[in-house]
Structure 1
Amino acid sequence: MARDILFVQGAGEGTHDHWDDKLAESLRQELGAAYPVHYPRMPDEGDPKYAAWKGALLSAFDGLDDGAILVGHSVGGTILLHVLAESALPRAFGGLFLIAPPFIGEGGWPDDDIGACDDLADRLPRGIPIYLYRGTADDVVPAAHTDLYMKALPHAVICTLEGRDHQLNNDMREVARDVRAVTGRSEEPTGD
């Protein structure tokens, strides 16, 4: 049985077509046909607004099956996390995988559009596995943000990847490995 993956892009002009498309494709290649990767274009990627992205995410959730896996990069991961924390969800998700998400709140980045991350752990769906990935060569989101997430999400698995940049060098192999582990499929992809 296939397991849906929703990959949420980061912010910035041209990100969907020229940056995060490489992450989505790497995830497709690493996971194979048993994991269809949905990669919607988020509204106004150059100047993201929480309400617009939240609406787009809630619409995208409607097309997923129960147990779908959610993956978000950078600002897209932060917004995805907040949407999960504050919305009545249409289904249960099988895991949340965040790649280089900025922390919003004290010690992190200010944002009038997104609330602080302080009580996220209490507001997220119970039992959802959470993984957070950070490259040591990330020059966009400071390492201190990972420390803040460790406090806000004490049950999250934190994965620090040596020498990897904000885009994880466009290599999603560790994310795919962890998705397979969470879904109980340890086998490698058999191709498309």
Structure 2
Amino acid sequence: MSRQILFIHGAGHKDQPSGSGKLISYLQKRLGNDYEVRAPDMPDPYHPTYQAWGDQIEQELGKLDADALLVGHSLGGSMLLKYLAQGTYQRPIAGLFLVSVPYWGKRDWELEYAVPDNFASRLPPIRHLFLYHSRSDEVVPFSSLRRYQEKLPQATVRVLDGKEHSFTEGLPLLAQDIKQSSSSV
């Protein structure tokens, strides 16, 4: 039986040129038949709302086996983390992999996506937590990684050289970390 991975894509349609689709395809190919990468189309991706995405995340998590592997890319990582911080999902998570995730501030329009200040204490048990961010990401500032690193000191942080955000050519470290994390379960 293959290991299930739930991948929540970033804003916009995942199959647009700078969308998450190429990273999703890369992961499925790199991980092989031992893994099933589930990447549902999220609701209204060009005008995302937390309520709609949170509801979809809840449905998708309900379809997974125990000890899920979760990947969130960009806004999808924000939405996934916020959902998990609501405290309603309490099943253990084998691995949470957050790629190029913005740390939202407190400006009015950002509040919808922002995690609560105490979000780290409200997360379900997570065996392996990884944060990936390019040093010169042109979409999400590198300072976002530092903010998450402060709040999640248990996370393994992968600082990547360059300015990649969507990782359209793939992210070998992510595939490697997924394999290593799932083999230690």
User: Scaled by the length of structure 2, what TM-score is found?
Assistant: 0.90
User: Which residue in 1 is equivalent to 2:44?
Assistant: 44
CA distance in 1, matches of 2:64, 2:173: 23
CA distance in 2, matches of 1:58, 1:117: 18
Of 121-130 and 136-145, the range deviating more from structure 2: 121-130
User: Which residue in 1 is equivalent to 2:27?
Assistant: 27
Cα 1:129–1:8 change in 2 (3 A) is: same
After TM superposition, the structure 1 = structure 2 runs for residues 120-139 of structure 1, keeping only pairs within 5 Å, are 120-139=119-138
User: Which residue in 2 is equivalent to 1:150?
Assistant: 149
Question: Residue by residue, what CA displacement relative to the aligned partner does 1:4-53 show, whole Å, maximum 9, x if unpaired?
Answer: 001110002xx322221101001101111101000100001001100100
CA distance in 1, matches of 2:8, 2:41: 8
Which amino acid is the alignment partner of residue 152 of structure 1?
K
| Percent of aligned positions that are identical | 36
After TM superposition, the structure 1 = structure 2 runs for residues 96-135 of structure 1, keeping only pairs within 5 Å, are 96-105=96-105, 111-135=110-134
Question: CA offset at residue 87 of structure 1?
Answer: 3.6
Question: CA offset at residue 96 of structure 1?
Answer: 0.5
Of 42-51 and 109-118, the range deviating more from structure 2: 109-118
Q: Is the 8 A contact 2:104 2:113 kept in 1?
A: yes
Q: Is the 8 A contact 1:3 1:67 kept in 2?
A: no
CA distance in 1, matches of 2:45, 2:71: 17
Q: Is the 8 A contact 2:93 2:126 kept in 1?
A: no
User: Which residue in 2 is equivalent to 1:188?
Assistant: none
Q: Is the 8 A contact 2:138 2:163 kept in 1?
A: no
Question: CA offset at residue 169 of structure 1?
Answer: 4.2
Cα 1:152–1:136 change in 2 (3 A) is: same
After TM superposition, the structure 1 = structure 2 runs for residues 153-192 of structure 1, keeping only pairs within 5 Å, are 153-184=152-183
User: Which residue in 2 is equivalent to 1:16?
Assistant: 14
User: How many residues are paired up?
Assistant: 182
Of 62-71 and 176-185, the range deviating more from structure 2: 176-185
Q: Is the 8 A contact 2:135 2:163 kept in 1?
A: yes
Which amino acid is the alignment partner of residue 145 of structure 1?
S
Structure 2, unaligned runs of 5 or more? none
Stretches of 4+ moved more than 6 A in 1? none
Q: Verify: 1:140 aligned to 2:139, yes or no.
A: yes
User: Scaled by the length of structure 1, what TM-score is found?
Assistant: 0.87
Higher fraction of strand: 2
Cα 1:150–1:90 change in 2 (3 A) is: closer
Cα 1:167–1:35 change in 2 (3 A) is: same
